[in-house]
Amino acid sequence: MIVKLTSASLLSVMAFSLAVTVPILSSVDSASAKTYTTRENINRDKCYRVKKVPALVEYNTRGIKVRDSSRSWTGNFGKNGGIVRDKYHPDVYIQTRRVLEDEHTTLVPTSC
């Protein structure tokens, strides 16, 4: 949106802004600050809460592969009417352990 200002409207806008600005400037000049001093005991102590953080350990159940999956046949093949089983054996792994973050103590800021 484009607004066109005529010279009369421009003068009225400038007069309004000047009327608002002059009281603000004059009030800044008349302000004065009062200062005073006192004696105080300042506590510069800092207090902390002790928090023990246990180690962060990652366990991998598929760490080291020992054996692939396999199948085996069990049962009596020679007997007529016997039951034969085709048995499945899943993969075999050795679980591994890795320490991601050691045990430590941390201090948490708190009020005294």
19-51 tens-digit pLDDT: 555 555 555 556 678 898 999 988 889 999 999
Q: Is 81 left (phi over 0), alpha (psi -120 to 50) or beta?
A: left
Retrieve residue 8's tokens: 């009369």
| pLDDT (0 to 100) of residue 6 | 55
Q: How many Å apart are CA 60 and CA 96, to the nearest integer?
A: 5
45-64 tens-digit pLDDT: 999 999 999 999 999 999 99
For the chain, give the percent of residues with pLDDT over 90: 53
Q: Which residue has the tokens 């692939």?
A: 68
Q: DSSP assignment of 51-75, as one string?
A: EEE--EEEEEEEEEEEE--EEEEEE
| pLDDT (0 to 100) of residue 86 | 94
Domain residue spans of the chain: 56-112
| pLDDT (0 to 100) of residue 15 | 57
Q: Determine what percent of the chain falls in helix, strand and coil, rounding each to the nearest 5.
A: 20, 45, 35
